[in-house]
Amino acid sequence: MSDDKILQRYPSPDGKRWVDLRQRADGLFYFQEFAAPPDSVPEYGAQTNTVPGLRSGTYKTFEAAESDLKDMTPWLCAKSK
């Protein structure tokens, strides 16, 4: 995933979540959701990274990945209705 290229970022309206559409080194596409860490820090240590969420399977085309991303992402599918 570190070599994967971020092609497009789709932030939620509140900016606390986002979905990245990425391309792997082998040319396939996928998307993954991320969320900002919570404001409160637990006693056992601070979170230093964002929290990854849903990760899709792979797609042969950007358009196919983006179409599913828009159908599955609450703040994007609400815009299309």
Instruction: List pLDDT tens digits, range 2-21.
Output: 789 999 999 999 988 999 99
Q: What is the pLDDT, as a whole number, of residue 69?
A: 93
Inter-residue long-range contacts of 16-25, CB under 8 Å, 24+ positions, other chains counted: 17/53, 17/75, 19/69, 19/73, 19/76, 21/62, 21/65, 21/66, 21/69, 23/62, 24/58
Instruction: List pLDDT tens digits, range 17-61.
Output: 999 999 999 999 999 998 887 666 555 555 555 566 888 999 999
Q: What is the pLDDT, as a whole number, of residue 76?
A: 87
Question: Which residue matches tokens 């230093």?
Answer: 48
Domain layout of the chain by residue ranges = 5-37+49-77
Which tops the pLDDT comparison, 46 or 63? Answer: 63
